[in-house]
Amino acid sequence: MSDATRLARVPWCRVASRSIYANPWMRVREDNVLLPDGRTTIYGVVECAGAVGVPPFLDVDTVVLVGQYRYIAGAFLREMPTGGMHPGEIPEAAARRELGEEAGDEAERVVRLGAFDTSKSLLDEKAILYLAEGLRLWQGRRRGKPLGRGGP
What's the whole-number average pLDDT of the chain? 89
DSSP 120: T
Integer Cα distance of 22 and 95 in angstroms: 25
Integer Cα distance of 91 and 32 in angstroms: 32
Where does the chain hold its CATH 3.90.79.10 domain(s)?
51-147
Q: According to the model, what pLDDT value does residue 56 have?
A: 87
Q: What CATH number has the domain spanning 51-147?
A: 3.90.79.10
**Which of 96, 117, 115 shows the shortest CA–CA distance to 105?**
96
Integer Cα distance of 39 and 43 in angstroms: 13
Model pTM score? 0.80
Integer Cα distance of 134 and 56 in angstroms: 9
Q: Within the chain, which residues score under 50 in pLDDT?
A: none
